Amino acid sequence: MKKVDSGTYNMPVRYGPEMRILIVGGGISGLTLAGLLQQRGFRPTVAERAPEYGSMGYIIVLWPSGSRILKGLGLYQKLLDTGLPFSTYNVWNEKGEMLRSYSVETVTEKYGPMISIYRPELINILREAVDPETIRMNTTVEKIRQSRDEVFVTFSDGREEVYDLVVGCDGVRSKTRSMVFGHVPLTYSGMKGWSFWVKSNLHKTAHIAEYWGTGKFLGVWPTKGRLSVFTSIRCPEGMPEPIEGRVGRIEEHFKDFGGIVPDILAGLDDESQIYCDDYNDLRMDKWYKGRVVLSGDSAHAVLPTAGGGVSMAIESAAVLADELSRADSKYIAHALESYESRRRPRVIKIQDQSRMMGKVAFANSRILSYLRNYVMRFYSNKLHIKYWDSMLKDPI
Ligand SMILES: Cc1cc2nc3c(=O)[nH]c(=O)nc-3n(C[C@H](O)[C@H](O)[C@H](O)COP(=O)(O)OP(=O)(O)OC[C@H]3O[C@@H](n4cnc5c(N)ncnc54)[C@H](O)[C@@H]3O)c2cc1C
């Protein structure tokens, strides 16, 4: 540690292992950031609200731009062993007639596989990169106060600590964000979705199948030994959706769908295992304030319609780790500015694509869905490859 003898910063300059970093949220971005920082010799603390890592969760798809970061963490082979690569994506209309079948093989040849994985399994893989001693489970942050040079944190267990930097990785409804930035509204997409698991023998291939209706969507996403279903509808924001009666409501919304949808609905029983949420994204003017920075969904939640949220969270964590590894406690603002300017254009691009995908898959009138289904005839595999290439080629 070196004392600064000039300028306005009158604290010892800390970097590497000396820099006091708190990561709030030990989910996808928090664990990735903690693992990468620990690999570089830092000793961040992670505060995770959950009492333990559980087994509830949905399927996610990792793009190669996100999964390649697990190579540097020594976790990539585990990801390949646990997840399921896919290369075919089929789109059907609601009657169960195929609109188009796409192969992303050219893209995966160039960038690496698209991998579907059960979220708790991805969390378990990422945890292997993080010293368990540094994760405080069942812990949240109650208060954050900052001076120009330090952040003063009060934890839910009453503990008070001082940090050089606090990183909010606590998800789309981040409390870190609201404590530091005040109320920042999420943007509601007009869509709400349910996700659940069904018997894997309902769909025997490793292909993704999506059924596009009018203002309704049902996607079937396989991963190793499991089959995940997303059902979504257009509806007003905040429409109540109690657990009780959930199965009946899903059946009602999708009763006219064909293909394997009737078999899926017939197997639906345990309402408590159906996850439901509004589809929101988030755009903020600034991702940091003083010595508190946001990463992952807390800074830039993405609609699940293009399946990019996890990859964006992992990419952002990698860029933040990269910038912090060149920073110290005095020049932290410069690192945070660089992090944000490196990430913002790419994140906005993916958010825009996800909004556009939502409009297409959820065309909300009969005429629009008819036109969409007609136009799909001309949306060739070549165009589809071009779309994926544009999503994956950017430097992060
Ligand atoms: C139904 C659904 C399907 C999705 N499908 C996909 C997909 O196919 N592909 C994809 O890429 N993305 C998908 N996403 C989005 C993806 O899940 C998120 O983008 C991703 O998890 C963001 O990672 P994160 O680390 O920012 O937040 P999270 O993974 O949500 O992690 C936040 C962590 O913070 C903890 N936490 C919360 N509050 C506090 C607090 N106050 N104090 C301490 N800890 C706290 C939470 O317990 C959690 O562990 C989907 C999302 C949903 C809802």
pLDDT at 199: 86
Residue nearest to atom 15 of ligand 1 (CA): 309
Cβ–Cβ < 8 Å for 289, 160 = no
Measured between alpha carbons, how far is 52 from 213 in angstroms, rounded to an integer?
A: 39
Q: Is 96 exposed, middle or buried (0-12, 13-18, 19+ CB in 10 A)?
A: middle
pLDDT at 267: 86
Measured between alpha carbons, how far is 293 from 21 in angstroms, rounded to an integer?
A: 11
Measured between alpha carbons, how far is 110 from 97 in angstroms, rounded to an integer?
A: 31
pLDDT at 3: 47
Report CA(254)–ligand 1 centroid distance (Å).
27
Distance from the Cα of residue 350 to its chain's centroid: 12
Of 28, 157, 302, best ligand 1 pocket probe by most atoms within 8 Å of the beta carbon: 28
Of 49, 118, 194, 233, best ligand 1 pocket probe by most atoms within 8 Å of the beta carbon: 49
Cβ–Cβ < 8 Å for 222, 316 = no
Report CA(386)–ligand 1 centroid distance (Å).
28
Measured between alpha carbons, how far is 193 from 303 in angstroms, rounded to an integer?
A: 11
Cβ–Cβ < 8 Å for 166, 22 = yes
Report CA(233)–ligand 1 centroid distance (Å).
21
Report CA(28)–ligand 1 centroid distance (Å).
7
- Taking only the tens place, the pLDDT of each residue in 22-42 is 999 999 999 999 999 999 999
Residue nearest to atom 4 of ligand 1 (CA): 304
Cβ–Cβ < 8 Å for 106, 10 = no
Residue 97: other Cβ atoms inside 10 A: 11
pLDDT at 7: 59
Distance from the Cα of residue 387 to its chain's centroid: 20
Residues with CB under 6 A from ligand 1: 24-30, 47-50, 58, 60-61, 140-141, 169-171, 175, 193, 195, 277, 296-298, 304, 307-311, 313
Strands 165-168 and 98-103: unpaired
Measured between alpha carbons, how far is 163 from 153 in angstroms, rounded to an integer?
A: 8
- Taking only the tens place, the pLDDT of each residue in 318-363 is 999 999 999 999 999 999 999 999 999 999 999 999 999 999 988 8
Edge-first strand order for the sheet with 21-24 is: 135-136, 45-47, 21-24, 165-168, 292-294, 288-289
Measured between alpha carbons, how far is 250 from 255 in angstroms, rounded to an integer?
A: 8
Long-range contacts of 384-391 (CB under 8 A, 24+ apart): 384/89, 384/102, 384/104, 385/104, 385/106, 385/107, 387/353, 388/104, 388/107, 389/107, 389/110, 391/63, 391/65, 391/306, 391/308, 391/350, 391/353
pLDDT at 5: 44
Report CA(39)–ligand 1 centroid distance (Å).
23
Measured between alpha carbons, how far is 11 from 18 in angstroms, rounded to an integer?
A: 13
DSSP string, 125-175: HHHTTS-GGGEETT--EEEEEE-SS-EEEEETTS-EEEESEEEE---TT-H
Structural domains in the chain plus CATH codes: 12-84+117-186+283-362 (3.50.50.60)
**Which helix H or strand E contains 369, and what residues bound it?**
helix 366-375
pLDDT at 87: 86
Report CA(172)–ligand 1 centroid distance (Å).
7
pLDDT lower than 70: segments of the chain = 1-7
